[in-house]
């Protein structure tokens, strides 16, 4: 069997397996079971460094050779990993300078995983060494479909090391960026509290300062740390390209991970994968705007839009990128879900069992949001160490767990691959995220909350969304939504202006263009270089404590009264018109929502207001909406419509009863509005 032999017109499935964790007679048994279950891929070895190289320079390939052959024999294609997330004890104790430092300035000890500093030259050398060794061994094995670099960059707050190798490299990085100390001091506004540097070596990681550190210092440290990850991975990718031609290279990104610029790091990969744990995501990673009511309602499924957002986010990382290493008709285009929850997780404060049907629903949603492969984590629940209480497709005792049955019941052919037909783009940018969250100004609102609020409003209107970079190509989109792009350069403003001039509708949230690329404010105030396009300037912004609300009253088409929480900002108009005004409070009578031509800005944080404005804009743009009830969602792909019910109870909708936690796939008739769909 060669790379091209796998025919591939629909969703494929896989799993993550750990032959090093079980007796050597198990992989052949598991491989057969996996084939019988209908799996096509198996991921191996991301944590196996100590078994591949038990002593410095001494490699033991036998167990992995056997495992690869066992899976190969059953027709499974293997995804191999560079085992760099877990440098073994012999390496760390010999070179403690590899260890990372936390944001309290403490060294992060050996004894779990991800304990290395991406900037460490010593670790870089060993990373290349082990990558070369494993790639030389397996790079051209017919079973090997591709590679995953490392594992979950940034997990456990490991994107940034605040001492050691990173601290040593940072001044050098700054010198490369700024050239002179005057430029650095000016860019950071270091004059503010006499923070000006007179020597590059004076600059340290932005921690343990007496009070808040300079946000521009943080912004550049985040950029630096992101660069270190990019460099680190690029070294592995280069070796994999050389030694494993025709195989894909990818990485499995993490839920809402914010520690690095994923667009930068993804560049050079063939496609993006991510690790999808809907229930843990809801308990541990949900933005603060998701309250106890939603956490309870969706405790056993996760929230549809949190999951959907991550799908769309990771699908969009490489949108428009070229294919680099993939080869052959049978190689999926991506994205994948590399690790798909298939039972309960073990890492949230509470780890409820998924509802009946949840594993199938998650799989169907993943497909509808663009996934070509869904790979379940993990094959068999671990019997040792940190994750014994994380479930797998098999239980500890090797009996099939509940998720196994749901996977077995799936008809993979019902999920054809093909494009997600989004006419709406939602803009995202890690630099805006970093600077926004560095100075939130109002507890309860952060970048993800603000962004996801707009995303959810679109999903409630039945809209498919591309989440793309704020500087991405906007052509072809009818509506562009920028919920929280607070950092806007002149170039970015120009690109948005072009899109608007080309006919796109642009909707911006509050704090848009508040910041320069350096993290300062525009000295002519928000909206800086976007002011002309918007036709207004910032007048006031108000940070609402949880016990305060601000009324917004719509005018004309935008009728109704809305209650803003957390944030309200108003505008001084210079060309724009007010669609809504504040009523009461210190903003009384000021403009809350403004519009100039195709550009709309929403100054207040209010689910209902955002939904109403977006519905109006979509109408103007000719994008039909399909309002759906709470917990019901629609997604479209490859001519199919996926109708999902995420509620724990049945829902009547459009004359049909949707059972609890269920889905239906049916064709979308081109040009035919769906039942209930509203004409633009």
C-alpha distance from residue 3 to each of 75, 326, 327 (Å): 11, 10, 7
> Is residue 24 a contact point for a copy of itself (CB under 8 A)?
no
The DSSP secondary-structure symbol of 415 reads S
Report the residue number, 193 or 672, with the smaller CB distance to a copy of itself. Answer: 193
100 contacts a copy of itself (rule: CB under 8 A): yes
Give the shortest CB-488-to-a copy of itself separation in angstroms.
15
| Residue 237, C-beta contacts closer than 8 angstroms, at least 6 positions apart | 149, 249, 268, 269
* 151 annotated ligand binder: yes
Residues between 399 and 458 that touch a copy of itself (CB under 8 A) = 399, 402, 439, 441-443
- C-alpha to C-alpha distances, 127 to 161, 227, 252, 352, 425, nearest whole angstrom: 17, 17, 18, 37, 37
Residue 55 as a binder of a copy of itself (CB under 8 A): the answer is yes
- CA 247 – CA 245 distance, rounded (Å): 6
49 binds a copy of itself (CB under 8 A): yes
Which residue among 61, 75, 267, 346 contacts a copy of itself (CB under 8 A)? Answer: 346
Of the candidates 25, 292, 322, 652, which one interacts with a copy of itself according to CB under 8 A? 292
Q: Which of residues 569-588 bind a copy of itself (CB under 8 A)?
A: 585-587
CA distance linking residue 325 with residue 47, whole number of Å: 24
Minimum Å gap between C-beta 296 and a copy of itself is: 4
Q: Which of 29, 191, 408, 409 binds a copy of itself (CB under 8 A)?
A: 191
Which positions from 627 through 646 interact with a copy of itself, judged by CB under 8 A? none
* Interhelix angle 447-460/607-621, nearest 10 degrees: 50
Least Å from the CB of residue 442 to a copy of itself: 6
- In DSSP terms, which residues pair with 248 in a beta bridge? 146
Min dist. Cβ of residue 478 to a copy of itself (A)? 33
Q: How far, in Å, CA of 299 to CA of 330, rounded?
A: 37
Residue 70 φ/ψ, nearest 5 degrees: -65, -45
Q: Which segment (70-78, 183-191, 263-271, 310-318) binds a copy of itself by CB under 8 A?
A: 183-191
- Smallest distance, Å, CB 125 to a copy of itself? 18
Q: Nearest distance from residue 231's CB to a copy of itself, in Å?
A: 21
Stretch that binds a copy of itself, among 210-218, 223-231, 310-318, 463-471 (CB under 8 A): 210-218
Smallest gap, in angstroms, from Cβ of residue 209 to a copy of itself?
4
Q: Rule CB under 8 A: choose which of 24, 140, 383, 501 binds a copy of itself.
A: 383
List the one residue from 9, 10, 32, 50 that touches a copy of itself (CB under 8 A). Answer: 50
Nearer to a copy of itself (CB atom), residue 372 or residue 542: 542
Q: Which of 348, 284, 299, 342 is nearest to 647 (CA)?
A: 299
DSSP line for 22-52: S-TTHHHHHHHHHHHHT--EEEE-TT-HHHH
Only segment of 187-195, 424-432, 468-476, 489-497 that touches a copy of itself (CB under 8 A): 187-195
Q: Which residues contact 102 (CB under 8 A, 6 or more apart)?
A: 108, 157, 162
Q: Does 565 bind a copy of itself (CB under 8 A)?
A: no
Residue 366 and residue 286: Cα distance in Å, rounded? 19
Peptide bond into 178 cis (omega under 30): no
Question: Does 626 help bind a copy of itself (rule: CB under 8 A)?
Answer: no
Q: Does 198 bind a copy of itself (CB under 8 A)?
A: yes
Q: Which of residues 234-263 bind a copy of itself (CB under 8 A)?
A: none
Stretch that binds a copy of itself, among 30-38, 50-58, 333-341, 494-502 (CB under 8 A): 50-58
Helix, strand or coil, per DSSP, at residue 266? helix
Name the one range near a copy of itself by CB under 8 A: 191-199, 262-270, 326-334, 652-660.
191-199
Considering only 27, 154, 206, 403, the residue that binds a copy of itself (CB under 8 A) is 206
Q: H or E stretch including 65?
A: helix 62-73
Q: Does 207 bind a copy of itself (CB under 8 A)?
A: yes
CA 244, CA 325: separation in Å to the nearest integer?
9
Residue 195, exposed/middle/buried by CB under 10 A (0-12, 13-18, 19+)? middle
Rule CB under 8 A: which of 488-517 touch a copy of itself? none
CB of 38 to a copy of itself, least distance (A): 23
Rounded Cα gap, residues 335 and 315, in angstroms: 6
Residue placing its CB nearer to a copy of itself in the complex, 40 or 662? 662
Q: Does 214 bind a copy of itself (CB under 8 A)?
A: yes
Can you read off the two tokens belonging to residue 405?
């049955």
Q: Of 4, 62, 65, 105, which one interacts with a copy of itself (CB under 8 A)?
A: 105
Check the annotation: does 114 bind a ligand: no
Q: What does the DSSP assignment read for 303-336?
A: -HHHHHHHHHHHHTTTTTPPP-S--STTS--S-E
- What is the DSSP code string of 164-196? HHHHHHHHHHHHHHHSSHHHHHHHHTGGGGT--
58-87 residues in contact with a copy of itself (CB under 8 A) are: 83, 85-87
CA dihedral 290, 293, 295, 298 (to 10 degrees): -120
Query: Considering beta carbons, is residue 335 or 357 the nearer one to a copy of itself?
Result: 357
Half-sphere exposure of 271 (CA within 13 A, CB side): 21
x/- mask, a copy of itself, residues 127-156, rule CB under 8 A, reads ----------------------------xx
Binding of a copy of itself by 563 (CB under 8 A): no
Report, as residue numbers or ranges, the catalytic residues: 152, 339
Q: How far is the CB of 460 from a copy of itself (least distance, A)?
A: 23
Identify which of 225, 224, 226, 221 has the alpha carbon closest to the alpha carbon of residue 209. Answer: 221
Helix H segments across 470-594? 490-501, 531-534
Report the 10 Å Cβ neighbour count for 212.
Answer: 10
- Euclidean distance between CA atoms 265 and 234, whole angstroms: 8
Contact 486, 435 (CB under 8 A): yes
**Can you give the length of the chain in residues?**
680
Residue 522 lies near a copy of itself (rule: CB under 8 A):
yes
User: Quick check: 460 and 544 in contact, CB under 8 A?
Assistant: no
Q: What is the largest CA-CA distance in the chain?
A: 75
CA 165 vs. chain centroid, Å, equals 27
Stretch that binds a copy of itself, among 332-340, 346-354, 450-458, 470-478 (CB under 8 A): 346-354
Q: Which residue from 344, 450, 489, 644 is in contact with a copy of itself, where contact means CB under 8 A?
A: 344
- Binding a copy of itself (rule: CB under 8 A), the pick from 25, 176, 322, 397 is 397
Count, residues near a copy of itself per rule CB under 8 A? 117
Out of 196, 238, 471, 620, name the contact with a copy of itself by CB under 8 A: 196
Is residue 311 at the binding interface for a copy of itself, with CB under 8 A as the rule? no
Sketch the per residue contact string, 449 through 488, with a copy of itself: x for CB under 8 A, - otherwise: ----------------------------------------
Name residues whose C-beta falls within 8 Å of residue 244's C-beta, 6 or more positions apart in sequence: 135, 138, 139, 140, 144, 147
Q: Smaller CB distance to a copy of itself: residue 413 or 547? A: 547
Residue 185 CB, nearest distance to a copy of itself (Å)?
9
Q: Does 180 bind a copy of itself (CB under 8 A)?
A: no
Are the C-beta atoms of 243 and 222 separated by less than 8 Å?
A: no
Binding-site entries:
113, 151, 347
- Binding site for substrate: residue ranges? 113, 151, 347
């Amino acid at each position: 069997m060669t790379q091209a032999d796998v025919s591939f017109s629909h969703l494929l499935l896989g799993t993550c397996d750990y032959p090093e964790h079980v007796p050597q007679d198990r992989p052949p048994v598991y491989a057969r079971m996996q084939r019988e279950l209908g799996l096509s891929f198996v991921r191996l070895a991301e944590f196996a460094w100590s078994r591949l190289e038990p002593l410095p320079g001494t490699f033991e390939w036998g167990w992995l050779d056997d495992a690869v052959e066992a899976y190969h024999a059953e027709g499974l294609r293997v995804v191999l990993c560079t085992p760099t997330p877990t440098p073994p004890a012999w390496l760390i104790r010999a070179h403690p300078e590899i260890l990372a430092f936390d944001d309290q300035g403490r060294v992060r000890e050996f004894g779990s995983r991800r304990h290395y500093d991406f900037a460490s030259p010593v670790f870089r050398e060993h990373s290349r060494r082990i990558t070369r060794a494993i790639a030389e061994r397996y790079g051209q094995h017919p079973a090997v479909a591709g590679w995953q670099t490392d594992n979950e960059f940034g997990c456990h707050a490991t994107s940034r090391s605040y001492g050691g190798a990173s601290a040593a490299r940072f001044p050098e990085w700054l010198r490369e960026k700024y050239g002179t100390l005057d430029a650095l001091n000016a860019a950071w506004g270091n004059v503010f509290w006499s923070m000006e540097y007179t020597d590059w070596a004076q600059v340290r990681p932005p921690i343990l300062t007496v009070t808040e550190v300079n946000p521009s210092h943080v912004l550049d440290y985040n950029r630096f740390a992101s660069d270190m990850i990019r460099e680190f991975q690029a070294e592995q990718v280069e070796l994999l390209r050389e030694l494993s031609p025709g195989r894909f290279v990818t990485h499995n990104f993490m839920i809402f991970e914010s520690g690095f610029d994923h667009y930068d790091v993804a560049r050079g990969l063939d496609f993006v994968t991510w690790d999808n744990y809907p229930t843990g995501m809801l308990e541990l990673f949900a933005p603060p705007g998701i309250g106890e009511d939603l956490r309870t309602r969706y405790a056993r499924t996760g929230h549809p839009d949190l999951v959907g957002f991550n799908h769309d986010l990771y699908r969009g990382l490489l949108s428009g990128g070229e294919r680099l290493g993939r080869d052959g008709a049978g190689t999926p285009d991506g994205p994948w879900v590399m690790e798909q929850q298939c039972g309960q997780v073990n890492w949230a404060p509470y780890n409820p069992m998924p509802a009946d049907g949840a594993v199938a629903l998650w799989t169907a949603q993943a497909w509808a949001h663009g996934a070509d492969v869904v790979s379940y984590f993990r094959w068999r629940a671990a019997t040792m160490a940190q994750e014994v209480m994380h479930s797998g497709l098999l239980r500890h005792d090797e009996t099939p767990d509940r998720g196994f049955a749901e996977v077995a019941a799936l008809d993979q052919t019902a999920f054809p691959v093909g494009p997600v037909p989004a006419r709406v783009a939602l803009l995202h940018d890690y630099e805006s995220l970093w600077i926004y969250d560095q100075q939130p100004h109002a507890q309860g609102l952060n970048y993800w909350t603000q962004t996801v609020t707009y995303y959810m409003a679109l999903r409630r209107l039945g809209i498919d969304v591309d989440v793309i970079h704020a500087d991405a190509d906007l052509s072809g989109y009818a509506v562009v939504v920028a919920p929280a792009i607070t950092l806007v350069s002149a170039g970015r403003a120009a690109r948005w202006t072009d899109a608007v001039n080309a006919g796109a509708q642009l909707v911006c949230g509050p704090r848009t263009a508040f910041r320069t690329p350096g993290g300062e404010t525009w000295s002519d105030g928000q909206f800086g270089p976007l002011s002309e396009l918007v036709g207004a300037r910032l007048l006031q912004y108000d940070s609402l404590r949880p016990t305060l609300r601000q009324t917004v009253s719509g005018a004309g088409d935008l009728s109704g009264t809305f209650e803003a929480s957390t944030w309200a900002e108003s505008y001084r108009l210079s060309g724009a018109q007010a669609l809504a005004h504040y009523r009461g409070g210190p903003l009384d009578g000021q403009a809350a929502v403004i519009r100039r031509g195709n550009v709309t800005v929403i100054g207040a944080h209010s689910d209902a207001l955002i939904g109403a404005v977006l519905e109006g804009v979509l109408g103007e743009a000719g994008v039909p909406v399909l309002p759906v009830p709470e917990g019901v969602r629609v997604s479209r792909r490859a001519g199919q419509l996926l109708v999902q019910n995420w509620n724990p109870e049945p829902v009547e909708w459009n004359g049909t009863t949707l059972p609890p936690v269920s889905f239906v796939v049916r064709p979308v008739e081109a040009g035919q509005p769906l039942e209930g769909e509203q004409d633009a």
